[in-house]
Amino acid sequence: DIQDFIIKLLRGFTLTYGQWRKEFQSRFFPVHYYGLNFNQGIAFSDLAILWSYQQLAKKVKNFKFDDYYEIRTQVINEAVNNFKKSSLSGLFDGKIGTIWLIYEFGEIDRAVEL
């Protein structure tokens, strides 16, 4: 059943995040090696990975998403802090994608500010 599969994926969220952060300080989540040099936009960013987890969580009623809000704050802050370092402006690999994701997280004022 799809609900069970989604719940299993969501339960692995905190474990995946914790393990990855212990080994790789530069990223919050695992990413395809093409994206190791990118952390803006919707293709390879930590924001995009977190957003996809959020979309999964919306499919399951009453799911307790451990540490989600704390991690979300950290990931958004990191994206904002590194925003000016990116020279790419695209939706998939650049600043426009980051702005869109921050907006999707409900941080409208921060998105407008960027």
28-64 burial, b for 16+ CB within 10 Å, e for fewer? bbebeeebeebbbbbbbbbbbbbbebeebbeeeeebe
User: What is this structure's pTM?
Assistant: 0.86
**3 contact partners, CB below 8 Å, separation of at least 6:** 59, 60
Q: pLDDT 10s per residue in the chain (114 long)?
A: 899 999 999 888 888 888 888 887 778 887 766 666 667 899 888 999 999 999 998 898 888 877 888 999 999 999 999 898 888 899 998 999 999 999 999 999 999 999
DSSP 66: T
